[in-house]
Amino acid sequence: MTKFPKKPTIGIISLTCCEGCQFAILDLGKRLLEIFEHYDLGEFGLVEDQRERDYYDIAIVEGSPITGDNIKRLKEMRKKSKFLIALGTCAHIGCVQGIKNYVSKDQKIKYVYPNIKKIDNPKIVPISHYVKVDFIIPGCPINNEEFAEILLDIKDNKLLPIPDRPVCYECPLAQAGCLLQKNIICLGPVTRAGCSAICTRQGQQCLGCRGPIDEPNLDSLREVVLRFASEKKFNHAMQVFGIQEMLEAQAKKASQKKFKK
Amino acid sequence: MKITIKHIAQIEGHGGFVANLEKGKVKSAQIKTHEGARLIEALLVGRYYDEAPLITARICGVCPVVHNLCSIKALENALGVKVSPQTIVLREVMELGQTIQSHALHAYFMALGDYFDIKHGFDLMKRFPVATLKALKIRDFGNRLIQKIGGRSIHPLRTKVGGFTKLISQEQINTILQEIPEVISNVGDLVEVYKKIKFPKFHRPTEYYALINNNHYTFYQGDTIKSNHPERIPVSRFQHDITEIQRPYEMSKRAYWKGQSFFVGALARLHLNEKKLNPKAKSVLKYLPPRPIDNSFYNIYAQLIEILHSLEEAQKLLKPLAKKELRYPAVRYKLKAGKGVGAVEAPRGTLYHYYELDSNGYIVNCNIITPTVQMLSNLEKDLEVLLKGKKEGEATQNEIKKLVRSYDPCMTCATH
């Protein structure tokens, strides 16, 4: 892992998104002020005016690169930063705007903007499509407890990858019953944990916002789901956070690896 | 002379400002939104109805609750679902929590610095250490109200068409009730700071628009009312009066009431509902000028009054629920084809969601009109008045930013 100096400089920017991950950070309240004492804080668009820096030890980027300006800003941020973190599902995968990748985007833009002229309407891609990403803090929104721990680990130079295990691993700990057993589509078996099963414990299905585990067994999940729901419903579930493409690619990679063995 | 502000910080999302002045006369004054188009309404078409509350919550990270609930209400209207009075009360309290947290963030951390020459939100801590910690506590409490009822403060989890997946416990309601008096006294400390604010002398008469009902200062349900138009209009008719305009090069639409601009948000609600404020909120009205105020800068003070009102209201609404463990989280319903409108008061003004469903529960049409879309043209009219005879320079730029922040626009909502 990258070595960080004592009081690293840090900047947080957002591209196109709801900014909920920045709010999740703010929600740490007093703790956030304590965490930032270990950092030299540069820009943090939500709460301050003009504090841009020429160099960052750590850049945190939330949101989707949709406009030309978004892409430019993302690349600039990468250029002046040593370590870049993708924050939240938008930057990591695509999130709800990523549904667009599974429908006709030209038709969709005309629905909202009948008088369209020069409005950017690209495919929704992770920020890693444009720049190298060194670390991902996943989730929609992020788990701010996890964020706090990661920032404290960084300052102590002991940052470790987020464990590769599925949400199913956390459901029993959260005393959440299995939704698949109740014939509700749930992507928990193929989704990376770390959220303390926050959705399933409230009776809400997992829709995979934290992205796939390293070796998702998508075929077997599909088989279970198709016993009670249609293929269309299963695909729609994978599309809510725009993860279908990434999930299928990861599953394919995993099965090829298995085949080689 | 051209005035350009590339990026206005300390508002939700990315926005800028461009104005053209000739010999002191304002030729144009325009807010520019820099958010990318996410096409949320279009993406909902063809999806199953129960995805809409989840997806639309993601329109905005500062007010996800209002999008989530507004979407649910519109869908319930489309499906003919009648929810229990208990569900309505719990949703109202979630709305209050949203108002408290959003206003505490905006009126304090984002906008207060403008009046004390403090550039960075975090620097408020140095100047007002006690008040800042109290503002944090107030905001935390708003979040906690949402979290305890909705399961999570950003993008709630338990809310759904028909009610909730899981209910808040009696113990949690009692804990909340025990906390409220202290939070109310914290707001009292903030009032001491806001009393000292010298609001700019500014005057431009405008029209105020908000939801209203007979019983209380409403955030969750009511008819719409406009200050110069005493007749109440049912929410289901909003598309007759409010029209959205899309300019060819702009990602944010504009909404007009029969062609006119109007004010939405805390100051509008205060104008139209003032008599229904709770007692403690009423007691701080004395620091306001006579009504109509017609000075948009006062919106942040109106937000502070609403925080106080919301705390008192939450107390009033939760007390009767604290007596025994809650039961019956949701009602059952059948799918059918239909159309439905929902409206709620978001922290920044009236929010509308509209859905048309087919008989299998898939969305056929959808329209969402956010408060910021409604307020932008009114803000621009204010900016035109503000800029008359002004010279280019930092002072003017700061005044522009201050006025923009008074409106508390949300660019992510504007460009959904």
Query: What's the rounded mean pLDDT across residues A100-119?
Result: 88
d(CA B288, CA B308): 15
Report CA torsion sign: B48, B52, B54, B59.
positive
* Cα–Cα dist B324/B309, whole Å: 26
How far are the Cα atoms of A32, A142, A149, B136 from residue A28, in angstroms, in the given order? 5, 12, 12, 10
- Model confidence at A261: pLDDT above 70: no
> Residue B12 corresponds to which tokens in the numbers above?
């939700």
Q: How many angstroms separate the CA of residue A135 from the nearest CA in chain B? A: 22
- Determine how many CB atoms are found less than 10 A away from the CB of residue A227: 8
Nearest residue to B378 (alpha-carbon basis) of B240, B265, B250, B234: B265
Mean pLDDT, chain B, whole residue set: 93
Positions of E strands within B175-253:
209-212, 223-226, 229-233, 242-245
Farthest-apart Cα atoms in chain A, separation: 56
- Tell me the C-alpha distance between B282 and B300, whole Å: 16
Distance CA B147, CA B181 (A): 19
Inter-chain touch A202–B165, beta carbons under 8 Å:
yes
Q: Name which of B45, B58, B125 is nearest A140 (Cβ-Cβ).
A: B58
Are B204 and B215 in contact by the 8 Å Cβ rule? The answer is no
Nearest one of A164, A70, A81 to A120, comparing CA atoms: A70
Q: Where are the domains of chain B?
A: 40-414
The per-residue pLDDT for range A19-72, each reduced to its tens digit, is: 999 999 999 988 998 999 999 999 886 666 557 899 999 999 999 999 999 999
Q: Which of B33, B35, B66 to mutate to test the interface with A (most CBs of A within 10 A)?
A: B35
Query: What are the CA-CA distances from residue B167 to residues B17, B52, B148, B161 (Å)?
Result: 45, 21, 9, 14
φ/ψ of residue B67, rounded to 5: -65, -45
Specify the long-range contacts of residues B213-217, CB closer than 8 Å, at least 24 apart: B215/B276, B216/B276, B216/B313, B217/B269, B217/B273, B217/B276, B217/B277, B217/B278, B217/B309, B217/B313
- What is the DSSP code string of chain A? -----SS-EEEEEE-BS--HHHHHHHTTTHHHHHHHTTSEEEEETTTBSS---S-EEEEEEESB--SHHHHHHHHHHHHTEEEEEEEHHHHHT--GGGGGGGS-HHHHHHHH-TT-SS---PPP--GGGTS---EEE-BTTB-HHHHHHHHHHHHTT---PPP--BGGGTTTTTTPPPSGGGT----GGGBB--STTTTGGGTPPP--TT-B-SS--HHHHHHHHHTTS-HHHHHHHHHTTT-HHHHHHHHHHHHHHHHH-
Q: Does B34 contact A67 at a Cβ distance shorter than 8 Å?
A: yes
Task: Write out chain A residues lying below 8 Å of B45, CB-based.
Answer: 111
Tell me whether residues A96 and B43 touch, CB distance under 8 A.
yes
pLDDT at B137 over 70: yes
Chain A residue closest to B398 (CA)?
A49
Cα dihedral sign for B152, B158, B162, B167?
A: negative
**Smallest Cα–Cα separation from B383: which of B268, B297, B298, B271?**
B297
Radius of gyration of chain A (CA): 19
Using an 8 Å Cβ cutoff, are B171 and B148 in contact?
Answer: no
Q: What is the mean pLDDT of residues A96-115?
A: 92
Per DSSP, the three-state class of B7 is: coil
Q: What whole-number distance in Å separates Cα of residue B368 and Cα of residue A81?
A: 38
Q: How far apart are CA A224 and CA A236, in angstroms?
A: 16
Distance between B174 CA and the closest CA of chain A, angstroms: 21
- What is the pLDDT, as a whole number, of residue A47? 64
Top pLDDT among A192 and B394 is at A192
Model pTM greater than 0.90? Answer: yes
pLDDT band at A185 (very low <50, low <70, confident <90, very high): very high
Q: Is B334's pLDDT higher than 90?
A: yes
Q: Is the bond leading into B329 cis (omega within 30 degrees of zero)?
A: no
**B42 closest CB neighbour out of A29, A66, A111:** A111
ipTM of the complex: 0.96
Tokens 């529960």 sit on residue: B361
Residue with tokens 């949203």: B98
Please tell me the predicted confidence (pLDDT) of residue B392. Answer: 83
Averaged over A178-186, what is the pLDDT?
97
Does residue B147 contact residue B101 with C-beta atoms inside 8 Å?
no
Residue of A nearest to B102 (CA): A23
The CATH number of the domain covering residues in B40-414: 1.10.645.10
Return the amino acid letter for B126.
K
CB contact under 8 A, B39 and A118: no
B residues 223-262 near A, CB within 8 Å? 246-249, 251
Q: Are A154 and A37 in contact (CB under 8 A)?
A: no
Q: What is the pLDDT of residues B14-37, one digit of tens each?
A: 889 999 988 878 888 899 888 889
Q: What is the pLDDT of residue A97?
A: 97
User: Per mean pLDDT, which range of A129-143, A190-204, B239-253, B326-340 is the poorest?
Assistant: B239-253
- Give contacts of B 269-328 with A, CB under 8 A: none
Sort strands A81-87 and A135-137 into parallel, antiparallel or unpaired. Answer: parallel
Bond preceding residue A141 cis, omega within 30 of 0: yes
Chain B residues touching A141 at Cβ < 8 A: 61, 154-155
Find the helix or strand (DSSP H, E) in which B344 lies.
strand B338-346
Res. B258: pLDDT tops 90? no
pLDDT (tens digit, 9 = 90+) per residue, B263-278?
999 999 999 999 999 9
Return the number of other C-beta atoms located less than 10 Å from residue A169's C-beta: 16
Q: Residues 360 to 379 of B: which have CB under 8 A from any A CB? A: none
For range B68-97, the mean pLDDT: 98
Phi-psi region of B68 (alpha: psi -120 to 50; beta: other; left: phi over 0): alpha
Q: Distance (Å, rounded) from C-alpha B223 to C-alpha B232?
A: 6
Residue A31 near chain B (CB below 8 Å): no
What is the model's pLDDT at position A117? Answer: 73
**Beta-carbon separation of B12 and A116 below 8 A:** no
Using CB atoms within 10 Å of the CB of residue B49, give its burial: 0 to 12 exposed, 13 to 18 middle, 19+ buried. buried
